[in-house]
Structure 1
Amino acid sequence: MRVTLVQGDITEQEVDAVVNAANSSLLGGGGVDGAIHRRGGPAILQECRLIRSCELPEGLPTGRAVATTAGELPARWVIHTVGPTYVAAEDRSGLLASCFRESLRIADELGAKVVAFPAISTGVYRYPLDEAARIAMRAVRETPTDVDEVRFVLFDAKSLAAFEAAYDDVFGA
């Protein structure tokens, strides 16, 4: 598996699957979640509502993942995962790592070969960027998958730099 890092807009990635840093309601929100729902159009929300009514009436638990259509995005699917909110007094690294493992598991079920990830939990969920980047890189490195490329799509230069440093630490580049 190849890991690539780019600065850009995840909603513009021509990949098999885009990972959404969703909230547990699956009904849209701010940040990456809001951008994916806006650009992808109503088909994504329609499938999320169906998942909520049939499979997950209480919402998507933290660290789990589900897939929907990508609607009007240039991807085939959206894999929704809920990252943990950062709490300094509690180690939630396992939940954050689970977001990546579960998303790759879903990608394998779908047959996705190229998957784009955002910096999960680093926005309104306040996970420290450097720590989240290391957790993400380790989880991707340690998860067996048939995915050919994991592409981290980082919104700004600061996020890109943190993920580049984590890549160097974890993959020894």
Structure 2
Amino acid sequence: MKGQIHGVQLECVQGDIAAQEDVEAVVNAANAALQTGGGVAGALHRAAGSELAEAGAALAPIEPGEAVTTDAFHLPNKYVIHCLGPVYGRDKPEEELLRACYRNALKQAEEKNIRSIAFPSISTGAFGYPAGEAAAAAMEEVISQAPYLKSVQMIRFVLFRYEDWKAYDTAWKQAD
């Protein structure tokens, strides 16, 4: 699904976040230590090489909702923006912390004059956030930030699982 929101191209695709060759920055659904993990973090760290963990170590730990940026190393992108999403049922208030991930990642992108960014579904894997709720919060936050973006021209949600893609597609239709 593709469209325009306040002059920003918005896309929602099923795919691999580590294989987004046409975007300048990819977002890592990181752990607090910014180290290799499972899911998105594991995929990005494997593709980027050990330098990504070394760069992350200098910036860690981060708190839920925070975002920091490193080079992308062996990924086909220039930057990785690392966000720590909330653990559902533990980190409160969950929705505000999740929205802060997207808001702070976009802020990092603006500060680096990044034109294109790809987001995964933050917190829906091991952190247990229900996909539908996460998708609604993410889509609403990105749409609310779009009018204020100056350098970011394209935002892509890259969802590995079909269930996540469907949740984001539904959230987009409801937010539109």
TM-score, reference length from structure 2: 0.90
1:93 match: secondary structure: helix
1:51 match: secondary structure: coil
Report which stretch shifted further, 84-93 or 25-34: 84-93
| CA distance in 2: counterparts of 1:164 and 1:5, whole angstroms | 7
Task: Tell me the number of residue pairs that the alignment of Structure 1 and Structure 2 aligns.
Answer: 165
Aligned counterpart, 1:8: 15
Aligned counterpart, 2:74: 72
Q: Which runs of 5+ in 1 are unaligned?
A: 53-58
Using the TM superposition, give the Cα deviation of residue 91 of structure 1 relative to its aligned residue in structure 2, in angstroms.
3.9
Aligned counterpart, 1:106: 108
Using the TM superposition, give the Cα deviation of residue 50 of structure 1 relative to its aligned residue in structure 2, in angstroms.
2.1
- CA distance 1:89–1:121, change in 2 (3 Å): closer
Aligned counterpart, 2:5: none
Using the TM superposition, give the Cα deviation of residue 51 of structure 1 relative to its aligned residue in structure 2, in angstroms.
2.1
Aligned counterpart, 1:94: 96
- Which of 133, 137, 143 aligns to 2:139? It is 137
| CA distance in 1: counterparts of 2:59 and 2:95, whole angstroms | 27
Decide whether the 8 Å contact of 2:65 with 2:98 is kept in 1: yes
| CA distance in 2: counterparts of 1:9 and 1:145, whole angstroms | 25
Aligned counterpart, 1:39: 47
1:136 match: secondary structure: helix
Q: Which string of whole-angstrom CA distances, capped at 9 and with x for unpartnered residues, describes residues 67-117 of structure 1?
A: 001011111000000000111895410000000000000001111111000
TM-score, reference length from structure 1: 0.92
Percent of pairs with identical residues: 41
| CA distance in 1: counterparts of 2:92 and 2:17, whole angstroms | 30
Report which stretch shifted further, 119-128 or 42-51: 42-51
Q: Which runs of 5+ in 2 are unaligned?
A: 1-7
| CA distance in 2: counterparts of 1:163 and 1:88, whole angstroms | 23
1:127 match: secondary structure: coil
